[in-house]
Structure 1
């Protein structure tokens, strides 16, 4: 405040301005100002001010009450602006700069052009033609559609009261949102902004004879978007020229506008119609417009219906279809709840919590072991809480439905991951995250676990997403400074990696990782721009996407190609040294690769294969070697399973590695413990771990969650040949639909937990994402 006052007084003392109301230019750039730091009363005295420079600060909005009637030029570049509606009071602005405001989108550009009727220069470009279209071009089209909607479906309440009018207005606006479609999906947020204004003004005109005094509108057509918005992308090459960073609400900016995409993907799609179709029943996706939005419809399931004959995973493995059917036909008692988002009772426990003995003070040193003789080995202490946690079902979301249909129970959900700690916001960085990304079918969703709201939804017609991964990369800003931003990578049957910045609702790029489907993805925790992609061509690729510039340009380079003998279902990196080795759980075994870039060889085969005791079982089809669950529980302890196994192995990476002599490819896993699990024969039910709390969790084919609280005492008391029971088995919460029965438990395809175990997310093969929440949190 003192610095601002000093600058203003300095301007006042200049020969051209003896009084505050004579100051015409003011420079307040690079002063570290936040919105609340601006002295509104003092600035409002500058009634002759024509130019104001607020660049390089930390402003999120223009404070309310600021009145500068003569202001014509405003520079708000390189701030943290999130709301442009606050500029409405400065209606005489003719030139405005808003570059390098990370959270502003193309929707905000259109809003500010509409709100400032005299604006002719935006970010140094003449916007006269665009502005005319925005302010006038499509007003009548939207107005006619709004009026038509009113005449078809609405009427004034009788009697007209403030309360009844408010209810009608709310319904009218919501109907306009959902029923009136106009312009490209990249501008849907702006369209909703204008539809709300038109609807409210029209309703007001019906009640007080003022025929829409200020209703002006436009929903721009695709051809009239800002020039930077229409930059094209290289969909399959090594680099992507992407639109500027302004697409915060509601779009994947170029998916429907790129003719090259349709031609490339049309030719690529038939290569792999659906890689998992041979083992799971999948429905053909419907064609809809690509969307990156904030949908909250069809998200929370207050009810669920089970259609007769809905496809199940019984045909995932044709050879065992009859066995699966017999297992799923056994009746179970289901509890009917009015709304799973507010459960009234806790699901029954299938196992009692274990009572571990007292901690032992020393770890046992073991000899090298063979696969059929698991023994204890020296271990790193887990240092996890000794008391198990208690989880309650919190939300059931049906947000991946094709065409947002509430009757879609066939879309299978495959992968989920919690967002890393939030990006900087006013200097604050949260330790944990309650935001989770999920994928399945042609949709990728970003969900707030606490509220159950679907924050963002990204849809690609004809795609089938199998995997996703988060990373925090650096974005270059004006002046050379950088800012961290959380990005999301997702891929599926088309073999394309989609790159998304969910915070600003921008799908900023994509590149082709394979001519066949992508099965798994993982960013390196040490090199945030390194992305591993496992593919159905039996290869794992390491890509470097580099950093991002302010326009989201980036360069792709391929660093490694790892040859696998079968499809890699999961990839894991060593927590302590993620740049040395990679573990790949594949359809026919678990393989270890040397990924050190200091070596010259770009194409590499596995260094060794880890084998397990279960392999000794007779199995003509080798299904015991399908490793469909893999995750590190600590720097040393690995949890893995085969879908035919009926148990989960905990084994030591260090001891296993140390027992390898370097001559043979195979090395027996040094098994530390074996966890009892379901006897299902359904494949691809992956497990999840929470190292900070010592938890391993895996779902089964009946919607149950098998939870294991792994403590040092448990590990030290493990006896070879005996399995450890689950600490707790959480039953399927059996959500119901009004007037319908409870849905039987589906298969749990994927599990994710946040680092503090506040939330657990389970994905099913019946288009349901279930959020569990820790009690007393």
Structure 2
């Protein structure tokens, strides 16, 4: 790229008609570098800075994420940076003589960035082809004067200079003063990030003016704080992750006047009223963006208890026939508290399954046709014994949490919760009571026993779709490493956030895709290997390496797997996690060879697993969307297709053994079929607890279908007959004081801890339900 830019400039020099004695670089006034695929690092800053007479620069249609630091173009008046990937505008401050600027189709920029750039460029009069003279005057003078008065008011009410003045005491006052000023409200909520940015700037300038006055009167500031060079890297990282200096690239819609709800990149037929809906996260000409751009925020909220009255849910990122109303897109400061009544008593264990099974029988119209292989029958392939307790467990709901609400609103029943995962136990023999949940712009870490939200991570404008835990080694002095549990989260922006919840630190991020992340999984054998499925129909395998004492890590891309459609679930065979990956996608279940010893880094699927339900395909559905996938044992896999009305248990080993290496499609060797809801709602995930032999899947009415799979059940399975649920747990019907019971929502995701002490179910109406096993 550097050579191409050089060639472009050289070509321009040859066209310039200047005196032989004149430096031709200094004579260039117009330069076009559009549509060259340039990234920020490709721009030759030293060379461009020599273009001291350059007045017009066209950088449109590239992949620039920022304007490089050190670029000095004193004569530049017209700059076109439209159709790039700019994530921040602060870097434009060095080009203070710009009069005309174009930034259209930079999907990560918001109305906050527009206000920032108008303030930073004092001569700017044309922005995106419009005259902004009146707006600019208000931003640079009117609003600044108002905010300045409010900042001074905060100081005069609550602060004073320390006595004596030292650098350390002054830094402490400045920190508290800026935090207090951050509460200043001015203008619409969509501009809150810009307001916070300006208020912080004004507060620092005001405090500096006060200290300068003190010094002029004879006072001295004693420097007792560490220098920047001696400051630890950890301190710098912590400060960056909480401040405005970190920008989170996000794809948004744009408008200067109002907030519009941006639809999730997942397929959806749910309608969001009151706002235009973005159908795809691809680049396009868009209207409005609301969420604020901000760095991640970690907090330790108090207990977030139970539920509230019913509201109207927001459009789901996944395709569905549900109709929901769009809610506000404001960022929550803390999760709302609400109260749930005692859950309604559920039917006796022998009643609900029997009743449900009877109702479901009519929906099972086709008999199960077990896939045949040359050397294996389903009964023969069920050789893996399930060493699980023979008695079923009993669960009771203990907490219903509404901790992902926007702005802590108890009326928020629109935020959809998409994924949950239990923290790896700190001792090999023990279970875990800590679960992470994600949905909307927040990620929560919850103590299942107490119902307390221990940590809350927020990225305004993000929509988290997936989370994954892993235990990595952190190096210590002396060369030894200590294990620490880290959390990875990703969603609409295509960024993977890395968090160490125990120390309350979001320590890093990296871009996994230009489109949204749909699913993530860490390898159980190689703890630093992270698979990310994306909406560009690819799965990437990354190695994040270990962590040093300052939380530094190094990202390496190891594999790229082509899926052909959006990957919804990833599962690694417990017996061979280093060699194979199962991917449940929008159009089927695919198997990939992930051995790193092979030369090819980019690969297609090794084979596709096909199921008997595919033969039922009709005009409306092919039944190929695999929206549930999990291993029940080293060999047995549980999976389901959208609108299947049942769950298959099939043998991984026998299915793979029947593959001859040539054909792409392989029939699954089905061991059993579990009766389930006949809903047409997609993306209701199932979960398994191998240690207790449980398969659990929620439905569209808030119920949990529990299957206790034992060897006896597997041996008694007969082809053509489905196995009824061991128990169907009814929706606990949370009630708020003075309000009626909330109807059952769809259960999007479920997680169980290894010892099945707790089960967590996430809904599409902003409720996380914690169930606890009853002691016998």
Q: Specify the TM-score bucket, using the shorter chain as the normaliser.
A: 0.5 to 0.7
The residue correspondences of 1:715-734 to structure 2 (distance < 5 A) are 715-734=714-733
CA spacing shift, 1:664–1:226, aligned 2, 3 Å: farther
1:133 equivalent in structure 2: 170
Paired residue secondary structure (1:713): helix
Output the CA distance in 1 between the equivalents of 2:228 and 2:253. 30
Among 407, 415, 421, which residue is 1:417 paired with?
Answer: 421
Output the CA distance in 2 between the equivalents of 1:277 and 1:618. 20
Output the CA distance in 2 between the equivalents of 1:345 and 1:552. 48
Residues 595-636 of structure 1, C-alpha deviation per residue, up to 9 Å, x if partnerless?
001111100000000000000013235440000000000000
CA spacing shift, 1:714–1:477, aligned 2, 3 Å: same
RMSD over equivalenced CA pairs, Å: 3.9
Output the CA distance in 1 between the equivalents of 2:624 and 2:551. 42
Whether contact under 8 Å (1:674, 1:724) holds in the other structure is yes
Output the CA distance in 2 between the equivalents of 1:518 and 1:268. 19
Shift of 1:479: 2.1
2:244 equivalent in structure 1: 257
1:531 equivalent in structure 2: 530
CA spacing shift, 1:563–1:371, aligned 2, 3 Å: farther
CA spacing shift, 1:375–1:230, aligned 2, 3 Å: farther
Among 267, 273, 276, which residue is 2:266 paired with?
Answer: 276
Shift of 1:281: 5.5
The residue correspondences of 1:360-759 to structure 2 (distance < 5 A) are 368-369=372-373, 377-422=381-426, 431-759=430-758
1:161 equivalent in structure 2: none
Shift of 1:344: 6.9
TM-score by length of 2: 0.63
Q: Does 1:351 align with 2:356?
A: no
Shift of 1:354: 13
Higher relative contact order, structure no. (Cα contacts within 8 Å, ≥ 6 residues apart): 1
1:191 equivalent in structure 2: none
Shift of 1:377: 2.2
Output the CA distance in 1 between the equivalents of 2:170 and 2:264. 44
Bigger shift: residues 475-484 or 502-511: 475-484
Output the CA distance in 2 between the equivalents of 1:725 and 1:285. 47
Paired residue secondary structure (1:385): coil
Paired residue secondary structure (2:714): helix
Output the CA distance in 2 between the equivalents of 1:542 and 1:139. 43
Whether contact under 8 Å (2:591, 2:608) holds in the other structure is yes
Q: Does 1:295 align with 2:305?
A: no
Residues 253-305 of structure 1, C-alpha deviation per residue, up to 9 Å, x if partnerless?
5254225x25x4368999x96212524567987548642111126x212x411
CA spacing shift, 1:142–1:253, aligned 2, 3 Å: closer
Whether contact under 8 Å (1:371, 1:669) holds in the other structure is no
Output the CA distance in 2 between the equivalents of 1:480 and 1:246. 23
Paired residue secondary structure (1:410): coil
Output the CA distance in 1 between the equivalents of 2:764 and 2:314. 10
CA spacing shift, 1:473–1:746, aligned 2, 3 Å: same
Paired residue secondary structure (1:555): coil
Paired residue secondary structure (2:719): coil
Whether contact under 8 Å (2:636, 2:652) holds in the other structure is yes
Whether contact under 8 Å (2:541, 2:560) holds in the other structure is yes
Output the CA distance in 1 between the equivalents of 2:178 and 2:266. 45
Residues 375-408 of structure 1, C-alpha deviation per residue, up to 9 Å, x if partnerless?
5524211110000000000100000011121111
Paired residue secondary structure (1:716): helix
Q: Which runs of 5+ in 1 are unaligned?
A: 1-116, 121-127, 149-181, 188-223, 232-241, 326-337, 356-365, 423-427
Output the CA distance in 1 between the equivalents of 2:439 and 2:579. 31
CA spacing shift, 1:310–1:467, aligned 2, 3 Å: closer
1:178 equivalent in structure 2: none
Output the CA distance in 2 between the equivalents of 1:226 and 1:770. 49
Residues 35-84 of structure 1, C-alpha deviation per residue, up to 9 Å, x if partnerless?
xxxxxxxxxxxxxxxxxxxxxxxxxxxxxxxxxxxxxxxxxxxxxxxxxx
Output the CA distance in 1 between the equivalents of 2:557 and 2:428. 32
Whether contact under 8 Å (1:341, 1:396) holds in the other structure is no
CA spacing shift, 1:570–1:742, aligned 2, 3 Å: same
Whether contact under 8 Å (1:590, 1:627) holds in the other structure is yes
Q: Which runs of 5+ in 2 are unaligned?
A: 1-161, 185-194, 201-224, 256-261, 276-288, 326-337, 358-369
Output the CA distance in 2 between the equivalents of 1:690 and 1:761. 12
Whether contact under 8 Å (2:518, 2:534) holds in the other structure is yes
Shift of 1:373: 9.0
CA spacing shift, 1:526–1:132, aligned 2, 3 Å: same
Output the CA distance in 2 between the equivalents of 1:273 and 1:321. 14
Whether contact under 8 Å (2:372, 2:667) holds in the other structure is no
Output the CA distance in 2 between the equivalents of 1:278 and 1:388. 37
Whether contact under 8 Å (2:250, 2:461) holds in the other structure is no
Output the CA distance in 2 between the equivalents of 1:449 and 1:269. 40
Paired residue secondary structure (2:250): helix
Output the CA distance in 2 between the equivalents of 1:139 and 1:512. 33
Shift of 1:562: 0.4
Whether contact under 8 Å (1:687, 1:751) holds in the other structure is yes
CA spacing shift, 1:710–1:740, aligned 2, 3 Å: same
Whether contact under 8 Å (1:340, 1:394) holds in the other structure is no
CA spacing shift, 1:750–1:130, aligned 2, 3 Å: farther
Output the CA distance in 2 between the equivalents of 1:416 and 1:585. 18
Paired residue secondary structure (2:478): helix
Output the CA distance in 2 between the equivalents of 1:144 and 1:663. 67
Output the CA distance in 2 between the equivalents of 1:265 and 1:143. 28
Output the CA distance in 1 between the equivalents of 2:576 and 2:174. 59
CA spacing shift, 1:140–1:622, aligned 2, 3 Å: closer
Output the CA distance in 2 between the equivalents of 1:536 and 1:765. 21
Count residues with an aligned counterpart. 531
1:209 equivalent in structure 2: none
Output the CA distance in 2 between the equivalents of 1:227 and 1:638. 55
Shift of 1:131: 1.9
Output the CA distance in 2 between the equivalents of 1:257 and 1:226. 22
Shift of 1:133: 2.0
The residue correspondences of 1:9-88 to structure 2 (distance < 5 A) are none
